[in-house]
Amino acid sequence: MRKITIAVDGYSSCGKSTVAKGIAKKLGYLFIDSGAMYRAVTLYCIHNNIIRNGKFNDTDVVIAMDNIHMEFKLNEQTHQSEIHLNGKNVEKEIREMNVSNFVSPISAIKEVRDRIVILQRKFRNANGIVMDGRDIGTNVFPDAELKIFMTADENVRTQRRWKELDAKGQKVTMEEIKNNLGQRDYEDTHRKYNPLRKAEDAVVLDNTHMTLEEQLNFALKLVQEKAES
């Protein structure tokens, strides 16, 4: 089969990264978690007091981009690519709730999105790539051969996110998570620049009642159809 570009978009905590990683592992493709890049920017802003008392100035964030250097490195134990911020592995730290609370408004800044999209497009190669995010199929790779738009019931997403954080020892309530997801959904779909939306030619994957195996089988069948067409 020929190698293709696969864009996986969708709402928070609907399993985009899990499915995208699974596709990449099965096919030997490069996986890039675009959301991790915006989370890394947010983490930098938190650590450097650009975000203070729950507020930040867009100009300060844009200026800070000159001091932010990101790269993905393969974890030899997990065989997964993990993000490094200015030379430090921050894969776990960027998943914490304090980052989740600010990543949507940070990613809504046009200059930040423009800079990161340039970086994201550089990852594309002839050996196949799977990238997940919010605007991959509509903005980053609008010509991707396969576009998947993922969604799931809000309560199911809340439960999944709670289990994920609980497993990492982060104690948050279901209400906090549900409020966070609702706020992020609103901000992602209503931001002025490249909002979250389904590309016209994207295939919807509602995994509310699907196992991971079922999701992967669904996606891999789509890949096969596109790669052989």
The confidence score (pLDDT) of residue 147 equals 98
Q: For the chain, what is the radius of gyration of the CA atoms? A: 17
If one counts the domains in the chain, the total is 1
The answer to whether 151 touches 14, Cβ cutoff 8 Å, is yes
- Residue 209's domain comprises 5-228
CATH of the domain at 128: 3.40.50.300
The confidence score (pLDDT) of residue 142 equals 97
The confidence score (pLDDT) of residue 78 equals 77
The confidence score (pLDDT) of residue 217 equals 97
Low-confidence ranges of the chain (pLDDT < 50): none
The answer to whether 204 touches 198, Cβ cutoff 8 Å, is yes
The CA dihedral of 74, 33, 4, 78, to the nearest 10 degrees, is 30
The confidence score (pLDDT) of residue 76 equals 81
The residue count of the chain comes to 229
3-state secondary structure 155-177: HHHHHHHHHHHHHCCCCCCHHHH
